[in-house]
Amino acid sequence: VRLVAAIACLAGCTGDMARPEGASAIGQPTATRRVRRLSAREYANTMRDLTGTSVDVGVFTEDTVVTGYDNGTESLGVGIEQAAAYTRLAEDAAAKVVADAPHFLGCDLGREGAEACRERALGTFLRRAYRRPARDDEKARLRGAFADARNITGDDTLALRTMVEAILQSPAFLYRTELGGAYDGNRVVLDDWERASALAYFLTGTMPDDALLDAAARGDLATVDGMRREARRLLATPAARIQVRHFLEQWLALDRLAFVTKDAKAFPELDDTLRAAMREDAERFLDEALRERGGSLAQVFGSTAAFVDEKLARVYGVPYAGTGAQRVELDPSLRRGILTRAAYLAVHSGPEETGPVGRGLFLRSAILCAPTPPPPIGIDRNVPKAPTRTTRERFASHSSNAMCQGCHRAIDGVGFSFEAFDALGRHRTVENGVAIDSSGFLLDAGPSDGPFNGVVELESRLLGSPRVASCFVRQAFRFAMGSSEAPEDVTTLDVLSKGFDANSSIVDLFVEIAASRAFVERWTR
């Protein structure tokens, strides 16, 4: 089926097939018609915006991250525990909504009566909850739940609450659809409401705001220009700033900081306060990097700003005065860019030592999109501790062993350049009495390949590499689609990558992704 569809698309791509209005110029569809369960974070944001409740997403234990991003649709299902959690959370939220019916439902239960409030809830509130106007049969079933509850209790408030609980557990609330309407045998294009949801969850991580729903109702989203216009509007909101930052944090795995533990003897400094300071530093660093023209890789890999409290100042080796987090500029010859920030360095190192292999593997996979195959079977991967040698010297056997050389030349070439930073992110010049060697060698970065020294130089080389720019585009695309790219996505990715470089605006990239055909078209299967 996929092959037939691909052939059909070839015809489509040459312009032989009429495209419906709204299909944009870039690329072609790759994802199939699907439903996407709200991720834990999207659910929490949506519950906050719709019902004013705050949700602890720790209850969503089954969610797994497979694309590198928490919105990966493949792994988001609903098992028993999850369904039970939805029930409990819906009950809490419904109680709150009905208790403040004038605010949430636009209705005064005492004055207007239960039926009036029920019908009001089935209007605006339901459109916001389902992110589209509800069908008549859906409303009829909700009225049924209301009637059931009133029969059981004889209580109007409880009846209304039960109906709101039903809304908050409905698949129309928990999933967003990408089903669309057919325009040829093989493809569908998302309808206006689905486009509104796709835009909102991609760019703001939450439900569409009323303006976006109104735009969908007017048919504004049916055109590429309309999609661009709404994308730009959303990207200027505070929710979008958090969302873009959230994407960058996941891209660089900074969100794992909460789980980082270190050997207590080697790193007694690391406690929850320092972890929080590292997190705040990284967040504000990224916020600042994103502020100007929607941010750029040049900012992300080049800024010298840091936001330190007393403990973090000691990690960075800078003077500190005052209270709370202070903005400081770090020595640009030692630290510039996110890769030299404590959060990044602490996440990307072992519990006891720096872990050059892990640092190299991650960077190559996330930033160069050049993942490394696993080591061959039967290899002794223990690198015994040695009190008089540097970590680099201990791992040096990689480059002398012919079997390891192939991959480790590339992995360690990057990983060793981080050796001037310990597992907590402190700068160091000696280890076990031996001077640190942070020379490195970059591979698979095109014109930037070759020897270099230290992370600061590594970052400027990354900025000069088209591979890094196109890898970033690919990462943003995965985040937008909630799935890994397919081979057919090469067209879309090529077009998006064209002209995207270290100085290009990240926010503009998000707009162009939202305007692509891949974003709004789906295969039927």
Partner 1 sequence: MKRRAFLAGMSSLALATFARRLVADPAPPPPKRLVLVMHSNGTQQSNFWPRAEMTSPILDPLLSDARVRARTTIVKGVYVPWDSGGTDGNEHDMGFARMFTGYRLRNVSGHPWGGGPSVDQIVAKEWRERTLNLACLTSRTEPHPKPGFLHRRSFSYVAAGVLRVPIEDPFVAYQRLFAPPEERDGVTRQRLLLRKSALDPMKSELARLRDAVSREERDKLDRHLESVREIERDLLRSISGEALGCGTRPPPPPEYTTRAPRLLVDDESAIPAIVQSMVDLIAAALTCGAPRIATLQLGYGGAKWSYDWEGIGYDCHGYLAHLDSTDGASSPDVIAKLVRVHRWNASMIARLAKKLADTPEGDRSVLDRTLIVWASDMGRGDHSLENVPVVLVGGAGMPSGGKLVDVGRQPFQRVGCTALRAMGLDVGGFGDLPDCGPLQGL
Tell me which residues touch partner 1 (CB under 8 A): 32-35, 37, 61-62, 64-68, 72, 74-75, 77-84, 87, 90-91, 138, 141-142, 144-145, 148-149, 152-153, 158, 161-163, 165-166, 169-172, 175, 177, 179, 253, 256, 259, 261, 351, 371, 373-374, 377-378, 380, 382, 484, 525
Report the residue number, 17 or 78, with the smaller CB distance to partner 1: 78
Report the residue number, 26 or 134, with the smaller CB distance to partner 1: 134
Smallest distance from the beta carbon of 71 to partner 1, in angstroms? 13
Among candidates 482, 369, 359, which has minimal Cα distance to 66? Answer: 482
Smallest distance from the beta carbon of 230 to partner 1, in angstroms? 26
Which residue is associated with the tokens 């089935």? Answer: 122
User: Which residues are CB-contacts of 197 (< 8 A; sequence separation ≥ 6)?
Assistant: 131, 176, 207, 208
Report the residue number, 188 or 200, with the smaller CB distance to partner 1: 188
Q: Quick check: 424 and 270 in contact, CB under 8 A?
A: yes
Report the residue number, 138 or 449, with the smaller CB distance to partner 1: 138
Q: How far apart are CA 372 and CA 90, in angstroms?
A: 44
Residue 156: DSSP 8-state = H
Instruction: Please state, in angstroms and as integers, the Cα–Cα distance from residue 288 to each residue in 8, 242, 295, 297, 340, following that order.
Output: 46, 12, 8, 12, 16
Q: Give the type of residue at 483.
A: S
Smallest distance from the beta carbon of 318 to partner 1, in angstroms? 30
Report the residue number, 256 or 279, with the smaller CB distance to partner 1: 256
Q: How far apart are CA 33 and CA 391, in angstroms?
A: 50
Report the residue number, 61 or 432, with the smaller CB distance to partner 1: 61
CA angle, residues 499, 72, 251, in degrees to nearest 5: 50
Smallest distance from the beta carbon of 35 to partner 1, in angstroms? 6
Q: How far apart are CA 475 and CA 457, in angstroms?
A: 23
Report the residue number, 129 or 240, with the smaller CB distance to partner 1: 129
Which run of H or of E encompasses 231? helix 224-235
Backbone angles phi, psi at 54, to 5 degrees: -105, 135
Report the residue number, 153 or 333, with the smaller CB distance to partner 1: 153
Q: Quick check: 418 and 356 in contact, CB under 8 A?
A: yes
Contacts for 123-128: CB closer than 8 Å, 24+ residues apart: 125/97, 125/164, 125/167, 126/167, 127/213, 128/50, 128/207, 128/210, 128/213
User: Which residues are CB-contacts of 82 (< 8 A; sequence separation ≥ 6)?
Assistant: 59, 60, 61, 62
In sequence order, what DSSP letters do the residues of 163-174 get, joined into one string? HHHHHHHSHHHH
Smallest distance from the beta carbon of 433 to partner 1, in angstroms? 25
Smallest distance from the beta carbon of 81 to partner 1, in angstroms? 7
Length of the chain, in residues: 525
Where would I find the beta strands (DSSP E) of 218-313? 305-308
Smallest distance from the beta carbon of 248 to partner 1, in angstroms? 16
Report the residue number, 377 or 402, with the smaller CB distance to partner 1: 377
Smallest distance from the beta carbon of 40 to partner 1, in angstroms? 14
Q: How far apart are CA 384 and CA 34, in angstroms?
A: 49
Smallest distance from the beta carbon of 391 to partner 1, in angstroms? 16
Smallest distance from the beta carbon of 95 to partner 1, in angstroms? 11
Report the residue number, 372 or 439, with the smaller CB distance to partner 1: 372
